[in-house]
Homo-oligomer: A and B are copies of this chain.
Amino acid sequence: MAVDTEDAGARRTRRDVQRNMERVLQAAQELFAERGPDVKMEDVARRAGVGIGTIYRRFPSKEQLFAAVSAVACQHTRHCLAQAADDAHDPLEKLRAIILAQYRQSARQAALIDLRPDPSGVPPDLDRPGLYASIHTLLARVIAAGQRQGSIRSGDAQMLAAICLELLSPRTVQNLSRLADDDVDAAADQVVGFLTAGLRS
């Protein structure tokens, strides 16, 4: 029984810790998305409902917290986009699904991650380069497949994929969604219509 009690205690503690870290990541994600990387650590702590020390226990610096947030969001994004691509068979349909996935995430308040290469290239950002490469490759393959089967007009698939990526950047998603009265599906439809018109052969 003593053993059981101890185990339960240990398990409970660990669950709390786990939940605190999730709260921190969530708060950081929201604030970074809302106000950029210049948010104060204290603000992150406040929104997470913890003390600053708690953040620093797991993330030794602001930079690393930012990187962690980025990594988490990246994995999520990659997963969503790959999933969307898998769920459709026609290349144009795949593209449409990918775009809708990204636009709908903003409606779900899920953090959007910037999928574009960073021209300044300053922060290594852990997984970001890998993410960019994999997403870019994913899109380029889908487009190339469409070109081979004739449903997408010819042209540099790399460049066309890059253009798609630009139209999936967080700010673009937000701007276009806002212009469509926050009806992300409408915004996505416009973009999809535009893209497919622009890509179709």
Q: Are B34 and A174 in contact (CB under 8 A)?
A: no
A153 at the interface (CB under 8 A from B): yes
Interface residues of A in 154-170 (CB under 8 A from B): 155-156, 158-160, 162-163, 166-167, 169
A190 at the interface (CB under 8 A from B): yes
A157-195 vs B, Cβ < 8 Å mask (1 yes, 0 no): 011101100110101101110111000000100110111
Q: Are A198 and B194 in contact (CB under 8 A)?
A: yes
Which of B35, B119, B153, B193 interacts with A174 by CB under 8 Å? B119
Which of B36, B155, B190, B200 interacts with A159 by CB under 8 Å? B190
CB-CB under 8 A for A171 and B38, given A163-B194, A166-B166, A197-B153: no
Instruction: Please indicate the chain B residues that have their CB under 8 angstroms from the CB of A179 in the complex.
Output: 158-159, 162
CB-CB under 8 A for A171 and B116, given A179-B162, A190-B156: yes
Where chain A touches its partner, the secondary structure class is helix
Report the minimal beta-carbon distance from A30 to chain B, rounded to whole angstroms: 13
Which of B34, B153, B163, B199 interacts with A176 by CB under 8 Å? B163
Q: State the copy count for this chain.
A: 4
A117 at the interface (CB under 8 A from B): yes
Which of B116, B122, B199 interacts with A175 by CB under 8 Å? B116
CB-CB under 8 A for A195 and B193, given A120-B35, A166-B167: no
* 6 nearest A-B pairs in the assembled complex, by CB-CB distance: A198-B198, A197-B198, A194-B198, A119-B174, A166-B172, A159-B190
Query: Which residues of A come within 8 Å of B, CB atoms?
Result: 34-36, 38, 116-117, 119-120, 122, 153, 155-156, 158-160, 162-163, 166-167, 169, 171-172, 174-176, 178-180, 187, 190-191, 193-195, 197-200
A-B contact pairs, 22 of them (CB 8 A): A36-B120, A116-B171, A116-B172, A116-B175, A117-B178, A119-B175, A119-B178, A155-B194, A156-B190, A159-B187, A162-B175, A162-B179, A163-B167, A163-B191, A166-B172, A166-B175, A169-B171, A194-B198, A197-B197, A197-B199, A198-B198, A198-B199
